[in-house]
Chain A
Amino acid sequence: MTDLTRRRFMQHGSAVALSAAGLAAGLSARTALASGHVSGDITMIKGPHSADEARFEAMIIDDFKAVEPGVNVTFTTYDWANMNAELTTGFASGNPSDVLYLVDLIYPNYAQQGALHDMTALVGAEDWSSERAQIPEFAWDLARLDGGTWGVPVLGAVYNIYVNKDLLSAAGVLDTWNRSYADMMDAARKTTSDGVYGFSVRARTGDFAFWDWLPYVHNAGADLLSEDWSECGLRGAEDATQFLIDMHQAGVTPPIGAMSTQEQFDLFKAGKIAIHHGETPQIAALMADPPAFEWDVAYAPPGETAQTVMGNFGILSIAEASPNKEAAWEFIKHWASGPQVGRFAEQVNLQVVREDIVDGMFDGNPAMQKIQQEFVPRVVGIQPHPQILKILQSIWPVAEQAYRGEFTGQETIDQMCDIINQIIA
């Protein structure tokens, strides 16, 4: 059973060491992979992290072709919102993609169903030990379940806050807004005016709104499940949830459920939101087309026990039904190598889990540097329980009602715990 704790992530953060040498090491690792001993056709499927995903993947595949000319890799994408349906259909067909990029939210269920290949022997091989050592243990824990290792951890996504510094400054709260939840509420009220919202957070299940709620839960020392995953672990998050309910009831947010993730971000870009919960890939949009105000990245104020950041992780897995696991493994090793994963992470503004390439990344992108160096050590991820997606999608409608003022924080957590206990029972 694996569980990512804040402590482990702090360890990771402190372990994040340089370097330019890391990139060089990665390059030599890539050279070491140039074996050319496998052949065949394989496919890879992944959710897009950018509109240019296919182009970025083609770069990785072209580089792979140079070291493994006998392997043809065909890349395809799944839609994030319907990833389960598409992946399940693939697995059910008996002919799924050989290599799959899976997030911690969904892979445990596939692993439990026997759809994924146990990669314990592959990742433990002696000839890959130097590469394996670059990925910290906390990340490997995320890829382990029931005694198996179901993929190679490659990327992380942080859910951060964006702030419009001009709006906060004009309201006189630029330096105080994130000292506490009360200060955040005060800032949201002061920056709200006609057509401008002080605060925005996703509210709809389809927009994965729970990512924005979870840091407040973690800050309160709670989590979806108890430490041993035997029951609901949300007790203690009542006040934090009440705070978000109050935010919505205070009239400082866009109408609940009226806007998608993209619409809220567009509103932020237009200078109409002061404090906005978003995701790091949106940094690319802000840099490509800078808004007419000063902005920064931030995280939620401290809660009762911690000040955390939400993040989730992606692993590269091999389908159990893959007829060419050897070629799939060679491609995964290539994809996960420092130069490849580092370049891709920079292209799409995501975080890497490898420790050897962190410091050389995101030159000229201070927001991403800040995220990688300051935020990542604070990340508390999801508990990779096989039913975690069902849990999140089942409890979130309760929060949606709560944001509308139908429940208190206490009632919300009570109902959520009933649902969670029913599911894991």
Chain B
Amino acid sequence: MLSDEEHRRLRRKAAVRTNLTAFAFLAPALAFLLLFLAWPVASLFIQSFHAGGVMSPAKFVGLENWRRTFLDPLVVKSIRNTLLYSLMAIPTVFAIAMALALSLNSIKVGQNIFRTIIYFPTLQPILIAALMFTFVLHQDFGILNIIMRAIVGEPVNFLGNASLALPTIAMVEVWKGVGFWTLLFLAGLQGLPRDLYHAAELDGAGPLRRFFQMTLPLLKPTFFFSFVFATIVNLQIFDSVFILTDGGPAHSTVTTTWYIYRSLFTFNEPGFGATLSFVLVVLVLLLTAIQTYMFRERR
């Protein structure tokens, strides 16, 4: 018979062994996280208190970069544009994708063909998509402007008009992203229990009622992932801005990531760029936390 002391010792030993095994399995992932996430974020934070550091030795400048960040009107504008763009692009792409997913879900024949067609724009590299849209939107010979001329008589300066440029970029991104979100929502829809729908139908629930009272609530986990993922991706909008407008006209499409790029690579201000990057990281974390909280509350 083992003594109490012996029991405790064996329990501790078993606990240690279990913990060590767990840590051993977690170690690769932890190392990866530390190396590629924690360390870069920490470096970024440290860099935000320095000037130089890329081509010349880093020089400690205290809170200067942070002071500039809060005083620079272009920072405020870039954050506002980024949020505005996200507010335009995310709900629009979700609404269109959901409509397409519902339509695809009800198609019995040839669904794969339609899926492929809808997903096709997502496969295009953004460079190709953006260049294609420069021809679609061109004031003189763009197909969209040919249509606009036929309807309203005047061409529209989509990318050259300061109030239209950002919505136009959102339109391009929606076109490119709609295939991905459609298939994601379609997968969600196809995973819903059929029995519930049959029962609801037997109880006399119409299509609209079934959609709002069953489909949407049941898709909440899909929506949670979608909102968080879309927010993270869209807050980092850069490539289409860079290719289509380069932040213009008159800074109307300047986004945070574009300004980070300019600060780092054009103006050779790595400290300021790092500070902006950190602001963006905080913004993304904040919005993700809010979304997580909101979705958890309602579950």
Q: How far is the CB of B263 from chain A (nearest CB, A)?
A: 9
Residues on the A chain within 8 Å of B290, using CB: none
Residues of B100-148 whose CB lies within 8 A of A:
139
Complex CA gap A400/B161 in Å reads 11
A92 engages B54 (CB within 8 Å): yes
Interface segment, one of B3-11, B88-96, B209-217, B246-254: B246-254
Interface segment, one of B78-86, B169-177, B264-272, B278-286: B264-272
Residue in A82, A88, A389, A404 whose beta carbon sits within 8 Å of that of B54 in the complex: A88
B260 is an interface residue with CB less than 8 A from chain A? no
A397 is an interface residue with CB less than 8 A from chain B? yes
Residues of A382-398 whose CB lies within 8 A of B:
387, 389-390, 393-394, 397-398
B199 is an interface residue with CB less than 8 A from chain A? no
B56 engages A113 (CB within 8 Å): yes
Closest to A204 in B: B248
Q: How far is the CB of B138 from chain A (nearest CB, A)?
A: 8
B261 is an interface residue with CB less than 8 A from chain A? yes
Residue total for B at the interface (Cβ-Cβ under 8 A): 25
B267 engages A115 (CB within 8 Å): no
Closest to B134 in A: A260
Q: How far is the CB of B166 from chain A (nearest CB, A)?
A: 14
Residue in A89, A92, A110, A255 whose beta carbon sits within 8 Å of that of B160 in the complex: A255
B265 engages A89 (CB within 8 Å): yes
Closest to A83 in B: B266
Complex CA gap A205/B258 in Å reads 14
A257 engages B159 (CB within 8 Å): yes
A257 engages B161 (CB within 8 Å): yes
A88 engages B56 (CB within 8 Å): no
Complex CA gap A205/B165 in Å reads 15
A84 engages B249 (CB within 8 Å): no
Residue in B74, B139, B268 whose beta carbon sits within 8 Å of that of A258 in the complex: B139
A84 engages B265 (CB within 8 Å): yes
Residues of B205-258 whose CB lies within 8 A of A:
245-251
Binary interface encoding of chain A residues 233-259 relative to chain B, with 1 for a CB under 8 A from any of its CBs, else 0: 000000000000000000000011111
Please list the residues of chain B having a beta carbon within 8 angstroms of any beta carbon in chain A. Answer: 52, 54-56, 74, 139, 157, 159-162, 245-251, 261-262, 264-268
Please list the residues of chain A having a beta carbon within 8 angstroms of any beta carbon in chain B. Answer: 81-82, 84-85, 88-89, 91-92, 109-110, 113-115, 203-206, 255-259, 387, 389-390, 393-394, 397-398, 400-401, 404
